[in-house]
Every structure is written in structure tokens, then in C-alpha cells.
Chains A and B, each alone.
Chain A
Amino acid sequence: MNPVIPAEYGLILAGLLFAVGLAGVLARRDLIFILLSLEIMLNASGLAFVVAGARWGAADGQVMFIFILAVASAEVAVGLALLLWFHHLHRGLDADSANEMRG
């Protein structure tokens, strides 16, 4: 059942993509870029699941990827609605301008 691609390569790539997304979340202050970086991280975790599923030729990895897809779409819908709300309140998308409560 061994696929031709070693599973290590896929997991390394997933880790690299996740690191890029994490760096984006930590470094950027624009809310749209923060959401995009979150997408990159979710995508990387889905990649890790599919790689692990392909390693044993099982369907479970793709099933988990479908669940991650559902989570990502729900997160994007709510996140973008919050982003609209934020833009309406602060006239901008700078995350640092939300440093007060009762915003």
C-alpha cells in the first residue's frame, strides 16, 4: 500500500505552509490578511490529513479534509461578517485600532 511519494515530504510541506500562515497571523495587522493567513493554516492542516490518509490508502484523511473544509467555510462567513462590522465601526481594517473594549 506504499504510495510513491514518501509521507515525510507531504508533512514537511504542510508544516512549512502552516508556519507561513502562522507568521502571517502574527506579523500582519490588516484583518483581511489575518483571515487569509488563517485560511493558509487550515489548508495546511487539511494537507496533512490527506497526506496521512494517502500514506495508508485510507479514505479517512479525505473525510477529515471535508470536515476541515466545512469549518473553513463557516469560519470565513462569520469572519468576513465581523470584518464588515469592524470596518463599519473603525473606518479601517487595522487590528490595532480595536484596542479598546465596548468597541
Chain B
Amino acid sequence: MYDRLWAASFAIFSVALVLGAAHAIILSAYRSTGLPGAPAWLRWLRRVANAVIVLGFLALSATIVARWHEAGYPPFSNMPESLLWMAWACCAVYFVSRLFVDFTGLEAAACVGVLGILAVSSLFPHAARPLMPALKSNWLIFHVLTCMIAYGAFLAAFLLAILWLLAWQWRETGKMVDALAYQTMAFGFLLLTIGIVSGAIWARQAWGRYWGWDPKETWSLVTWLVYGIYLHFRLMSGSLGISRDRLPLFNALFGIVGFAVTMFTYIGVNYLTTGLHSYATR
């Protein structure tokens, strides 16, 4: 059941991507040729794309539930399980964003994010394994979930940064994308802080110390510092001689670099360093 639902989620988001991208491309063509309005069928195309995304979100949720049921333990202990939550969170961030902003290409970006995560997840073994002693704690759910939601938000910010780099010439869209990226990164920063703090409290319960400079812990601090610098950057950019107009470019760079650091914290540490968290590699 889990395998079928996973494949279904992938298929649904692929369809949504095609629809969303088609809408964005066709609408851009209409705008650039200066035609006054867009035809009704284009509006409907967008609505269908969003409906398919909602369906995909439900499929993702069902996949998580199926995994929880089949494995017999909360699905937070290996790469595919946590990546599912990251995809779910990225989609949720998209829905919340749509309450506040509206610009073309947002559907396609969300689908790219979710599909990218699912594609990466297929590289890891999906087999469910019994939990090892260190993971038998209620903190597992809270700590991993908050971190994955943060990573999902940072992925969304990364996609928005790419979107900004593509769309900055359209000033209105560029400003909106930049403002949304700020909101997303701020949300991600809050969740990351909660994730790091809950990890530290759990570490004290399991290993006797709340901080041990384990590579995973250290890199999560590096991620936190990078986004912390980003949040303070607009206050001090003037002193670096960066004008107001150039600031969004730096914000976009932070979104990209920050996500790269986040991914190293999440995946790179497991495979390129050794430490207490490397049990996740098995």
C-alpha cells in the first residue's frame, strides 16, 4: 500500500507540474505579446493544476499514514521517511503562501520542489527497520518533524530565490517573490530553532549532554547562523554599500547558499562525516 501510494503521489505531482508549467508558459507568452486578457480556459487550467496539487497533498498524507501503519513505528527514522515529511511540508508552505500572494509560476515551483524531494528519496532504501534504542523516544516525532518542516520551508525559499533570479525584471513580481522568500525563511528559521532546541533537549535525555559538537549538531548550528546572518543582513547592508535595489539579489543568494548548507546538514553529514547521527546511513 505504501509503495503504491508513494508512486501515486509522484505521478499526481508530475501531472500537476505539467499543468502548472503549461499555464505559466502560456500566460507569459500572452503577456509578452501584449494581448489584453487571457482566455477563460487558461484560468481553468490554473484551477485544475491547483486541484491536482491538493490531490497530491492528500496522496502524500495517505502515504505517510500507510507507512506509519505498515512499519508499526512513527515514520521519522530514515531518509525516505523524513523526506516524505519534507515534501509534505513544502507543499503545505505553498498552500499557506497562496493565502497571501499570487503570482504565476508558483504552482510549477511547488511541484518542482515536491518532485525533486520524491526523486531524491528514491535513491535510498525504503525498507522499514525496527527502531534502535536511541530512537525510542517521543522526542523522535517532535524533533524530526520540526526539522523537516524547516527544511521544507528552506526548499521553498530556495525555489523562490531561483524564481526571483528568473523574474526580477518584472518589478512587481520580483518584489513579491522577495518578500515571500523573507517570510518563508523567517518561518523556516523559527522551526529550525525549535528543531535544534528539541534536539538538544532530547540529546540531554539520551546521551547526557545537550551539545556535543557532533557533525550533525555543528552543521545545524552553521545553518542556523547562515539564516541568522540573512535575517540581520538588511539592517546592515547599508553599511556595506549595498543599495536598496541590490538587496533582493543578496537575499536570493542567501536563499540558495542557505539551502545548500541545509542539505549538507541533512544529507551530507550522514554520508560524508562520522558521528552519533551517522546511524541514519544504515
A complexed with B: no
